[in-house]
Amino acid sequence: MDKVVLKAVRRDIIGKQVKALRREGKLPAVIYGHHIEPFPIVLDAREAGKSLTGLAPSTLVTVEVEGQSYPTLVREKQRNKILGSLIHIDFLAVSMEEKLRANVTVSIVGVSPAVKDYNGILVQELNLLEVECLPQDLPERVVVDISGLDEIGDTLYVRDLKLSDRVKVLADAESVIVSVTAQAAEEVVEEVAPVEPEIIEKGKLEEEEE
């Protein structure tokens, strides 16, 4: 994926006054990190929305602020509840020399023979994988190929992943990523013919006289 670069300027307007910025097509945001004091910024809302749409949570975003570049990760995106448009972003500035922890999206690829040929149901248990590495080694996503799931019950675990030696997986090695299960058997209800009620007549039978 191409490098994501956003241009921003420092923001003096804070609090309720940021509504005026949004009306002008601006997007308020903040940059914070371990080695810097948090400071507010403002971006072009249209350009930021276009660049950040569909972006994986582990994708590095370079924010250029008045001549200085900050490698960051998008930590939080706030949206308008009605329109769905971005209204605020939190950027976490990272050091390219220090390892970080991040959640990486798990992407399923391929076709499972157990699903295709035996009508199995694919169950993805893990959608995000926590890893630790340098920012430049952070994968945008972890690709899991399910074409080897041949039979019902076949499972892929975290231990089966093939990642770079520079990326440390923090999840339990025995955690299930994806598996194939059988479809639930349909309950068969047999129709039972209604039983006619037995009618018992009460009374004394008359004995025949000889």
What b-and-e string marks burial along 109-122, b requiring 16 or more CB atoms within 10 Å of the CB? eeebbbeeeeebee
Q: How large is the average pLDDT for residues 160-174?
A: 95
146 Rama sector, left if φ>0, alpha if ψ -120 to 50, beta otherwise: alpha
pLDDT at position 1 is 52
Asked if the model's pLDDT at residue 13 lies above 90, the reply is no
Q: How large is the average pLDDT for residues 147-164?
A: 96
Give me the CATH code for the 100-181 domain, please. 2.170.120.20
Q: Which residue has the higher pLDDT, 34 or 169?
A: 169
Percent of the chain whose pLDDT exceeds 70: 87
Asked if the model's pLDDT at residue 16 lies above 50, the reply is yes
Asked if the model's pLDDT at residue 118 lies above 80, the reply is yes
pLDDT at position 204 is 43
pLDDT at position 183 is 87
CB 102 within 8 A of CB 130: yes
pLDDT at position 104 is 94
- The C-alpha atoms of residue 157 and residue 175 are separated, in whole angstroms, by 6
Q: How large is the average pLDDT for residues 25-51?
A: 93
Percent of the chain whose pLDDT exceeds 90: 72
Structural domain boundaries in the chain: 4-93, 100-181
Q: Do domains 4-93 and 100-181 have the same CATH topology?
A: no
Give me the CATH code for the 4-93 domain, please. 2.40.240.10
